[in-house]
Amino acid sequence: MTGATGFVGRVLCDALARAGYRVRAAVRDVSRAPLCVDEPMTIGDLGVANQWLPLLRDVDSVVHLAARAHVLGDPAANAHLYREVNAAGTLNLATQAADAGVRRFILLSSVKVNGESTRDRPFSADDEPQPRDAYGESKWEAERHALAVGAHAGMEVAIVRPPLVYGPGVKANFLRLLNWVDKERLLPLGSIANSRSLVNIWNLCDLLLLLITSPAAAQRVWMVSDGENLSTPELIRRMARAMHRRARLLRVPPKLLRAAAATLGYRSESERLCGSLVVDMSRTRRDLGWSPPVSVDEALSRTAQWYLSGGSRGR
């Protein structure tokens, strides 16, 4: 596994260990490796120069989570870094995995390969990719590299495109919302009538675990979510309930909200709060026989417990 010390990696590593797998993890600092890792091994920055073969010896499956993460406001000058790490780095790892005889290669991609927002219909795995930034483009290129290597070498490849992932350790806008709800801030978001798919970290890891063994998983892209789409006001109300706080929502016309955000330089942030992004995971349910095991309310309760216990300040 790559990315074992990360947000998703720590939960997945624990799930793998409990399922009886021996986990060999590539980490920058062995001292930070989760206890569930059976064989932590040091690796440098992801890229074309990494020598993976010593780590891949006797490995059945690779789960590739590590990536240069999307950062709001990242300058255009950094675009090449996404390509070097996420695209070229994946090609290098997949090629060496195939050379080592790895049976299955699972790549955590992103819904940003599909695009930034939905209007008339949800995103599906069959859509023509329309990435809008360097991160999304690098993930699409990574997908193509992995599938091409798999097709050439006979290695099974499965790709997952999650929407926003939340749970203990979450950052960015979701953590900001938790903070606002905790402080019972008056939020001008009461009139937003959008719809967004989210996936909690336990559901995502449950699907990743299934993809290691499912015969139907290979050479395909899979969409994932919690199975329940929420508007921003409804998400805030559910958060407030989980945190035993009041949800204070002010009804401001979305057009006015977007205009104000653009004036203040927060256009991208406002789109994530006001816009819609829905994924269609009917094929994931049907072909894999998978359903999300953890409900939105249960996941929000667990995330609220982490936040209120001070977890957000310790990470």
Q: Could you say which residues of the chain have pLDDT below 70?
A: 72-73, 77, 313-315
- Per-residue pLDDT tens over the stretch 102-116: 999 999 999 999 999
| pLDDT at position 314 | 47
| CA nearest neighbour of 222 among 232, 213, 211 | 211
- CATH code of the domain containing 108: 3.40.50.720
> Would residue 184 count as lying in a domain?
no
| pLDDT at position 271 | 86
State the helix-helix crossing angle for 201-211 and 7-18, rounded to 10 degrees.
50
> Would residue 128 count as lying in a domain?
yes
Catalytic residues: 135
> Would residue 143 count as lying in a domain?
yes
What whole-number distance in Å separates Cα of residue 23 and Cα of residue 36?
7
> Would residue 302 count as lying in a domain?
no
SS3 2: strand
> Would residue 261 count as lying in a domain?
no
- Per-residue pLDDT tens over the stretch 181-206: 999 999 999 999 999 999 999 999 99
**Residue range of the domain that includes 106:** 7-166+198-227+280-293
Query: Based on the structure, what is the number of domains in the chain?
Result: 1
pTM: 0.94
Determine contact, residues 164/7, Cβ cutoff 8 Å: no
> Would residue 236 count as lying in a domain?
no
| pLDDT at position 264 | 85
Determine contact, residues 50/36, Cβ cutoff 8 Å: no
